[in-house]
Amino acid sequence: MELHDDDQPVGRVLTRREILALLGGAGAAAVVATGFTRLGLDQLTGTATPQATVEALEALPACVVRPALTEGPYFVDEMLNRSDIRIEPSDGSIQEGAPLHLIFKVSDVSQNRCAPLAGAQVDVWHCDAQGRYSEVDDPGFDTSGQTWLRGYQVTDESGTAEFMTIYPGWYSGRTVHIHFKIRTDPESEAGYEFTSQLFFPEDVTDLVHAQPPYASKGYRNTLNASDSIFRGSDGLLTLDVVEVEADAGYEAVFGIGLDLSQPSPAESSMGGPGGGRPSSPPPSNP
């Protein structure tokens, strides 16, 4: 299946690392001049010293300015409130794969601030070690009625939502990725909604996929550099993945800010054939 027009990403992500890099090269005034005043940076200009600016920025969570990536074809609003999404509720089985502790830090960056956002629903879904999604009736596989590697958590007072999952496998035409969606009010069309994808460093994926149960599928045919959705993100949605300890799996913290004063960057119904399917051949123009 070829990628469609709705596969193209929208917006831009700005992490703490990018902010500090910009400050190191041109100063806070240059950052504000590029249009990032919504991130609460304007108070850092003027007489602020470089050291004070850096210290202030280090205290901020990562912030986002109107970003979005395609939802893809496999979002199912199962409303499964759980932290450990490896488990199949019907029989209690656990998905095989390298454990991944995924931590979201969600912030509100409206009104020139960057404050923890409590009460937001964070949905996560992704494929298993063999590149299959649950709750899908596809020509290549049928996982209807199964809901592994799907679930949501609600952010606490610190804006944190945590998941225990596995490192994703791969399927033809897409690089390794995780889908996520954040909603401030899932029951109302008036709520803010943000949908995107997370990506992984190639060197870490090489290490993980060389081990069972991933290795039996062979080497992935699409890397980050050849994935059009990843390329559109400028690499700014790539997780910093840390190995916790030997055989204990991995951990990644992803900070993200939502400008709730702006319209949602995507319609709540965004979906359709976005991002390729696990049973599909590689896109003709990856």
- Which residues are within 8 A (CB) of 199 and not within 5 positions of it... i.e. 6 or more apart? 175, 176, 177, 224, 230, 233, 235, 237, 238, 239
Would you state the structure tokens that stand for residue 211, as one six-digit string?
């081990």
100-124 average pLDDT score: 94
- Strands 99-108 and 249-258, how do they pair? parallel
Name the fold adopted by 63-258: Protocatechuate 3,4-Dioxygenase, subunit A (2.60.130)
- Which residues are within 8 A (CB) of 285 and not within 5 positions of it... i.e. 6 or more apart? 2, 3, 228
Residue 235 pLDDT class (50, 70, 90 cuts): confident
54-61 average pLDDT score: 44
pLDDT tens per residue across span 62-90: 565 445 899 999 999 989 999 999 999 99
Residue of 266 and 256 predicted with greater confidence = 256
Residue type, 270: M
38-57 average pLDDT score: 40
pTM of the model: 0.75
Quick one: pLDDT at residue 139? 85
Q: Please give the sequence-ordered ranges of beta strands (E in DSSP) within the chain, or none if there are none.
A: 10-14, 63-68, 99-108, 115-116, 121-125, 137-138, 141-142, 150-154, 160-166, 177-183, 193-199, 241-245, 249-258
Quick one: pLDDT at residue 157? 96
Which stretch of 232-236, 239-243, 244-248, 265-269 has the lowest confidence by average pLDDT?
265-269
Quick one: pLDDT at residue 62? 57
264-279 average pLDDT score: 48
Domain spans of the chain, in order of start: 63-258
In this model, does residue 36 exceed pLDDT 70? Answer: no
Most confident of 28-37, 132-141, 229-238: 132-141
Q: Residues 56, 10: contact at Cβ < 8 Å?
A: no
Residues present in the chain in total: 286
Residue of 284 and 175 predicted with greater confidence = 175
Quick one: pLDDT at residue 278? 57
Residue of 215 and 114 predicted with greater confidence = 215
Quick one: pLDDT at residue 63? 64
Quick one: pLDDT at residue 64? 56
Residue of 102 and 258 predicted with greater confidence = 102
| CA atoms of 247 and 227, how far apart (whole Å) | 30
Quote the mean pLDDT of the chain: 77
